[in-house]
């Protein structure tokens, strides 16, 4: 089996592709675009009891929405507050109101894209975002929104469409989409071509565990297990709950450092965080004790 196919270019990267959308919303705040899952359960549900959004902020948003009934920002803001409280159904309803006011409103498109990603509604997201892209015509969608669309296509096992979408990002406007480009390239037919962009993504957001993880993958592919181990360890330091780096360290120790014991240790740590085993490492290291899976939680 090819070692290059074993590496897990995955992780909870909902915060990996950071969108700088100050020019689109009056408050100038940034948004996180959706990322890719590692077989994780969806966050929240419409039927789950959830805490109420901060009442003062919600009251202010409702008051402002009443004063400016056609302004998309205020229903978008209410959607933010509902989503922060894990009230996904109400968040979706408010974001759709924002998009009724302005179908091309990038902050609402980004946030509803993230909501759909977290709840596994990739087809719904593709329909909504592709309709927005058609309406935008030559003007196109904001690069972070395109990055979200590309990642939904990846989740639907359509890497061809994902690459096509990212190819539409104008040259010079890639900031905020580099992490998505790296992820798509690592999942594609020419993963080694992601090396330069992985460095750029890491330098753009060195505090992202997923960026460090993907940078480590490119170092391992380049025959630098020392650099790869350093990157994977940094990813774990930033976010100990992210499963991917543990899986990749298991691969590194087993197939590059030839240390079966260390590989098994990292694999057990990975299985404490995820039940997914895309490359069947369980057949190599053995099934971990059931107690290690009994307490598995969604690491989001």
Where are the domains positioned within the chain? 1-15+178-300, 18-176
What is the rounded CA–CA span in Å between residue 176 and residue 15? 11
What tokens does 192 get?
Answer: 């080694």
Residue among 14, 16, 19 at smallest CA distance from 29: 19
Six-digit token string for 181: 């480009």
Q: What pLDDT is attached to residue 215?
A: 86
The domain defined by 1-15+178-300 folds into: 1.25.40
**CA gap 43, 121 in Å, rounded:** 12
Structure tokens at 300: 């989001």
Are 153 and 165 within 8 A, CB to CB? yes
User: In angstroms, rounded to a whole number, what is the distance separating the alpha carbons of residues 6 and 4?
Assistant: 6
Contact 289, 264 (CB under 8 A): no
For residue 5, the model assigns a pLDDT of 41
Position 136 scores a pLDDT of 87
- The tokens of 264 are what? 């098994």
What does residue 190 show for φ and ψ, rounded to 5 degrees?
-130, 65
195: nearest Cα among 211, 215, 167, 169: 215
Sign (positive or negative) of CA dihedral 82, 153, 182, 140: negative
Token pair listed for 102: 């302005």
C-alpha span between 89 and 110 (Å, rounded): 16
Q: pLDDT tens track of the chain, all 300 residues?
A: 344 444 655 433 323 332 322 222 222 222 222 222 222 223 333 344 445 666 788 889 888 889 888 999 999 999 999 998 889 999 999 999 999 999 999 899 989 998 998 899 999 999 999 999 999 887 777 877 888 898 888 888 887 888 788 777 665 544 555 566 555 555 554 555 556 666 666 777 788 888 888 888 888 877 889 999 999 999 999 999 988 899 999 999 988 889 999 999 999 999 998 888 877 888 888 765 543 333 333 322
Distance, C-alpha 107 to centroid of its chain: 16
Q: Tell me which CATH homologous superfamily contains domain 18-176.
A: Tetratricopeptide repeat domain (1.25.40.10)
Cα separation of 88 and 226, whole Å? Answer: 43
Rama region for 172: left / alpha / beta (φ>0; ψ in -120 to 50; rest): left
pLDDT computed for residue 65 by the predictor: 87
Secondary structure of residue 18 in the 3-state scheme? strand
Q: Which residues pair with 19 in a beta bridge?
A: 31
């Amino acid at each position: 089996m090819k070692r290059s196919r074993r590496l897990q270019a995955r992780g909870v990267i909902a915060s990996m592709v950071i969108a700088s959308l100050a020019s689109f919303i009056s408050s100038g705040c940034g948004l996180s675009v959706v990322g890719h899952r590692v077989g994780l359960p969806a966050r929240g549900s419409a039927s789950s009891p959830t805490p109420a959004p901060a009442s003062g902020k919600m009251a202010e948003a409702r008051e402002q929405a009443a004063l400016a009934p056609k302004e998309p920002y205020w229903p978008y803001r209410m959607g933010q507050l509902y989503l922060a409280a894990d009230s996904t159904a109400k968040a979706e309803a408010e974001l759709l109101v924002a998009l009724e006011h302005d179908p091309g409103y990038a902050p609402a498109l980004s946030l509803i894209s993230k909501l759909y990603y977290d709840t596994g509604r990739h087809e719904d997201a593709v329909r909504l975002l592709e309709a927005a892209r058609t309406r935008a015509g030559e003007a196109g969608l904001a690069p972070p929104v395109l990055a979200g669309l590309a990642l939904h296509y990846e989740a639907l096992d359509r890497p061809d469409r994902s690459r096509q979408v990212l190819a539409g990002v104008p040259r010079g406007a890639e900031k905020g989409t580099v992490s998505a480009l790296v992820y798509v390239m690592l999942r594609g037919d020419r993963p080694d071509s992601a090396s330069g962009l992985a460095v750029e993504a890491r330098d753009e957001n060195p505090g992202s565990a997923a960026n460090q993880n993907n940078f480590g993958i490119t170092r391992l592919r380049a025959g630098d297990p020392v650099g790869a181990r350093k990157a994977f360890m940094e990813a774990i330091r930033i976010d100990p709950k992210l499963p991917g780096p543990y899986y990749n360290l298991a691969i590194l120790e087993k197939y590059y450092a030839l240390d079966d014991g260390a590989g098994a240790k990292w694999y057990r740590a990975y299985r404490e965080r995820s039940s997914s085993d895309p490359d069947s490492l369980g057949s190599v290291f053995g099934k971990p004790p059931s107690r290690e899976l009994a307490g598995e939680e969604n690491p989001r």
